[in-house]
Structure 1
Amino acid sequence: MGRKLPAALLLAAGIVGSLIMGTSPAAADEVICGELVRGAILEKYKEMGGQTSPLGCPRTPEQPTPDGQGAFTHFQGGSIYWTGSTGAHPVWGAIRDSWESQGWERGRLGYPVSDELTNPDGEGRRQQFQGGTYYWHPTKSNGAHAVGGRIGELWGQWGYERGAFGYPMTDEYNAVQVGGNLSENTGVRQRFQNDRFLLWSPGQTNAFETCHSECVGYLGVTNEPWVKQTEVYTNLGNGKRSVHVTPTDAGFEDADDDLQENWRQVWANTPLFPNATQTEINSVSKQLYCHAAFAFPSPGGGHFGGPTWDLETWRADIPWDSAEALRTQCNW
């Protein structure tokens, strides 16, 4: 639903518009389709092709934004928003609909700082705002969704929409069991293509060691015979990394039968942690075997070692040549 212009402002807009705080810089004003369009908003509108552009005819004269920092004009096909620091930019379609639902410029995304741009795939679109960037694809994104903050940084490191996670499928949302197994381990998730998620946790002392302080991570829903999902976390303070595998019932029983197949299933839908050294891979794979081999049923329910197999990349790669080495590697 568009914002409605107060009657008093409608009456005064053409007379004292230049005196209203937040209006765009003075320029030749024009009445178009019966509405006054002016300043930087008019310049952007003309640049886009005026009435022949996707915006069509204006529906309101220029109005100041509620925060007093800018101005906007609504058109048939969208809006143009302006501030002195961001310039004038059109917003329309699914991106505008989502931005409106989040509170316009007063929401977490703030004002647009770019026009809508075409992604390298030639199909998707993106538009940058002060608090993040909206992404949209006609078939891959399930609407328009903004990516920003720590999750946006991590997504960028993986190559944005061209990388391992593809387009965002949801907005960010608060979730439990982020960074740890407990319901009080709360954080933020955002779903991307192919049942993959990016994660952020502020850090909690009862979480995984990697997430005792602020961490980011990613998760792949695997649904393999032995593995439900795999999570990878990195501590933003000390760089520690860990892998957390959630086995199926069959995994608890049978995953020690074939270490190579178990390893494949762990990474079936989750990217291997970046820049992995051979020492880290050796250590993590041996820890995986240890958990699978010693995941005995617990008298109190569940399995010895807990509901996830926690694999820590900083543990040394110890040879398999003795029972004591095995016990050390398994951290028992």
Structure 2
Amino acid sequence: MTTLGLLLGSVVAAAAATSHGTVTHADGAPAGEVWFNSGNHAAHAGHPEHGFNSFTIKDLFCGDGWGIGVEWRLSDGVFTHQSAGDCEPVELTYETGQAINIVVDFNWRPYMWAVDGLHETEYGSWSTDWMGSDSTEGDTDLFTRTSVYNDVLGEGHTFTASMWPTALARVIGAGATPAMWRDLQERTPLPSSLSEERRESLYKQLWCHAAYGRLPQLGGPTWDIEAERPNISWWRVAAQVADHGCNW
């Protein structure tokens, strides 16, 4: 495989990631790279194949005798996942299955391990990300599922809340916004660091989706609201929906 081919293969995974790390050989040659996709970010970015709260592990140098893995530290635990061997397989996706109802920050780093066991494991640099929250529980008939996770908006970071509305929520529309807002925060609370300005923007986005995204073919299967979107006026929310489509 040519270097160009490796780079092209990397772009696809990187496009769906909220953080990324590499590990190299002593001579600086790339050995492997790892991406993390927080919560529902990969699907929100159009790459559902990369999973939910998942690592994508890619070996960039087949035949070097090294496999690629990832180590992460979440709360008080240390966890790892790695390929079966040198390019076995070249690329894999691993969902951690560690979501709870609160989004939690954690640290992770890629590593390379010697298949023959004769060399010490080599590590890349630490990265910080967020393990997205996930809930299918709670006393609500407006959502079947909710999630809050780290996301990318333009060139920057944001928190996104995704909701899977029920048929009832779509029928009620904007009138259910107060109840949906309450249920969202009871099931999967927003990060405490978000300002009132950010929260008001999120509320307006939810109202907009409920009012104008009532049909799945128009609004999609989820209603996604992003904290970094500006807190525009209610007039702009309602009167200019044809321009912003609830994503201003």
The alignment's TM-score, normalised by the length of structure 2, stands at 0.46
Where is the strand percentage greater, Structure 1 or Structure 2?
2
Higher relative contact order (CA 8 A, sep 6+): 2
The alignment's TM-score, normalised by the length of structure 1, stands at 0.36
